[in-house]
Amino acid sequence: MADELKRRHPDAAIAFVGGRRGLETKLVPAAGYPLRTMPLSGIKGASVAARAAAAIAAALATVRCLAWMVRDRPDLTIGVGGYASGPAVLAARLLGVRTMVMEQNHFPGAVNRHLAPRVDAVCVPSEAARARLGGRGIVTGNPVRREFASIGPPPAASEASLLVFGGSRGASSINRAASDAIPLLARISPPPRIVHQTGEADEAYVSAAYRAYPGPHEVRAFLDDMPARLAAADLVVSRAGATTLAELAAAGRPAILVPYPFAADDHQRLNAEAVEEAGAAVVLLDRDLDGSRLAEAVASLVADPVRRRAMGAAARRLARTDAASLIADVADALLKGCAPSAGDAPSKKEARDVP
C-alpha cells in the first residue's frame, strides 16, 4: 500500500508506527520506510494484570503518537489493525487529521471494529466483512505486492513442488505434522520437491527430520523471496492469515490451509472456510492435524493435477489484483476532502483530479 501511494506521490513522506517486538522491526526498514516503535501488547485472553499493563501502554502510546503528529502534522493516517493502530488513529482523530482503516479479514478484528464508526473511510476485503461492520466499508480486496500478480502457472517438472510455511515465525503444529509426514510423503513416486519455512525456533529439529527424506528439499527459518517460492510451487501448506490468502489468490495457487486456532475471534478459520467454499483450498483444522492426515491430503492433490489446476483457477478468481490501487483511490479522495460514502469507491474522475 505504501509503495502504491509512493508511486502516485513521489514526494510524499510515509512513515510506519508499530510495536517494538513485531516483525515490522525487520520488514519495514528493509522496504525502505522509517518505523517508529512503541512498547505494546495485546489484551485478548491476558490476565487482569497484563490487561491493565497493556491499557496503560496504549494510553502512553497515544500520547506519544500525539507528540509525533503535532510535530510532523500528517495529512492522512491509515490504520491496519493491530496494537499500534488504535493509539495512532485515535491521536490523529484528536488532532483532526483525516483517518481511514484497512481490514484484512472477513471477520474484522477488535481494533478495527472499534475504529470503523469513528474514521473517515474503511476498506474491507469482502461483503462479509462489510456486513460485520454494520454495512460500513468499501470493498477493495486485500493489497499484495505486484510481484504476486505476475506469477504464472507452475513450471513443468517430473515431481510436484510443495511449499510449506506457517507465517513469518513458522507454525509448530504444521512443523510437527510435516516432520511426521516425511516417511509417508517419501512413498509418493516421485517424491515431491519440498521447501519448508519453519521459523527460527523449530528449524533445527525439522531439518533433522528431513535427513530421511529422499526427495529434493530445502528447510529455512525464514523465506524473504515468497513471490519466487510461490511461482515454483504446485501446492502450498500454510496458515490462513488474510495477507497469505491474498497472495495465494494473486498467484493462483491451490492450498491446504491450517487456520491458527488462537487467532482473534477465530478469524483464520473463517478466512480459510471462505476460500474452501470457493473451491481453492482444503482446510485441515489444527486440532485434527497430524502427519497422517497431512500426508493424505498432500498425496491426494499431488496425484490429481487436474484438481490442482481447478483449485488454482478458483484461487485466481478470488484475487483482487487492483486492491492497492482501489485503496489508494480512497486515500487520494480523503486527501482531497472527497470522502466516499460507505459502500462506494471513489470515482475515476476523483482519482484523476487529485493533485
Q: Is the peptide bond before 34 cis (omega within 30 degrees of 0)?
A: no
pLDDT at 89 over 80: yes
Q: pLDDT at position 41, please?
A: 61
Query: Does domain 2-142+321-353 fall into CATH 3.10.290.10?
Result: no
Domain borders along the chain are 2-142+321-353, 147-318
pLDDT at 346 over 70: no
Task: Write out pLDDT tens, residues 17-32.
Answer: 998 877 788 889 999 9
Read off the amino acid at residue 7: R
Q: Does 147-318 match 2-142+321-353 at the fold level?
A: yes
What's 147-318's CATH class? Answer: alpha beta
Q: pLDDT at position 45, please?
A: 56
Q: pLDDT at position 79, please?
A: 96
Q: pLDDT at position 332, please?
A: 95
Task: Write out pLDDT tens, residues 322-340.
Answer: 999 999 999 999 999 886 6
Higher pLDDT, 353 or 178: 178
Total-model pTM: 0.79
